Structure 1
Amino acid sequence: MLAAGLLTLAACGGEQPTEEPDSGLRGIVQLGPQCAVENATDPCDNQPAAGVTVIVSEQLPGDAYAAGEEVARTTTADDGSFELAVEPGAYVVTAEAGMSCELMDARVVRGAIAEVVVPCDTGIR
């Protein structure tokens, strides 16, 4: 009897269905350059930055690349990608990778996921 009750509870109390976020950010963090010399026959593509911290901050009024208060952070996957839910608004997105990463602006609207690529400098010259 106890086993039957536990099975019933397990069946009812399992994982809740996950919903897609109403709005958010999705992107990739890239590291480059990867070699000191690049030419047409031997390109040196940027590489994804795995396991790095992505920081999302409010965008300050009047300057597309001025970061205000931090609102979210996450870590990139093995392929350098990230995704997180944020409310609609104007944001500045950057990462902690390489020598420095650019500040990228992103505008999130309700019901949509904004895409952003965050380039980071390796310092290789």
Structure 2
Amino acid sequence: MRYDGVAGPALLGLLALAACRESTPPPAAVAVSPSVTSTAWMSPSGSPLPSMSPSMSPLPSGSPSGSGSPSPSRPASPTASTRPSPSHSSTPAGPVTGLQGTVSAGPTCPVERVDSPCPPRPLSAEIDARDASGHVAGSTRSGSDGQYRLSLPPGTYTLMVAATGPFPRCPTPTATVIGGKVVMLDISCDTGIR
């Protein structure tokens, strides 16, 4: 068949492109992250197609997933595989048992008025949980927001907030921890402001 003029070369280019797509080498493996391997479609020249993310890098030629040269017997469909990554969670496998709450200190200004409230402020402090014999069963520090969480086995505990001076003065509440439950216990300390 003969094609003359401008349409001829353009049509031949399209036919050549179609032929290339049918014989496009299979995808090359690329490393996405330390725990994930994915595939990227490569152009006939060996460079990634524009849809690829620039942060991906080819696997070394000695790796099991990327031999460095395409094999015509490999399937030409995209695949992805994942490997398990190590767990960074410190959450216990079973139900959590213990205490949680907020430590706060107030009043925060003298002579609180309706039009100028002085809400208690969160208190970051060391908190010890002592069992019935007075031994420290657990210890934690409340965050800058006053929140604390303390994992403890079932039992009755007295909480003691470590003060850095005479104020704030914190009560020593007692709480009973029940198996499989987290008991809420807020601690309100006195700043001494009157």
**Normalised by the shorter chain, which TM-score bucket?**
0.7 to 0.9
Identity between Structure 1 and Structure 2 (%): 30
Counting only pairs closer than 5 Å after superposition, residues 27-106 of structure 1 correspond to structure 2 as: 27-50=101-124, 52-59=125-132, 68-97=134-163, 98-106=167-175
Query: Are the aligned partners of 2:104 and 2:146 in contact in 1 as well (CA < 8 Å)?
Result: yes
SS in structure 2 of the partner of residue 106 of structure 1: strand
In structure 2, list runs of 5 or more residues that go unmatched: 1-59, 65-82
Tell whether 2:96 aligns with 1:22: yes
Query: Are the aligned partners of 1:26 and 1:116 in contact in 2 as well (CA < 8 Å)?
Result: yes
Cα distance in 2 for partners of 1:33, 1:46 equals 6
Higher relative contact order (CA 8 A, sep 6+): 1
Residue type at the aligned position of 1:73: S
Alignment length (residue pairs): 111
TM-score (norm 1): 0.75
TM-score (norm 2): 0.51
In structure 1, list runs of 5 or more residues that go unmatched: 5-10, 61-67
Cα distance in 1 for partners of 2:63, 2:127 equals 46
Query: Are the aligned partners of 1:59 and 1:105 in contact in 2 as well (CA < 8 Å)?
Result: no
Root-mean-square deviation over aligned CA pairs:
2.3
Query: Are the aligned partners of 2:105 and 2:168 in contact in 1 as well (CA < 8 Å)?
Result: no
Give the structure with the larger strand fraction.
1
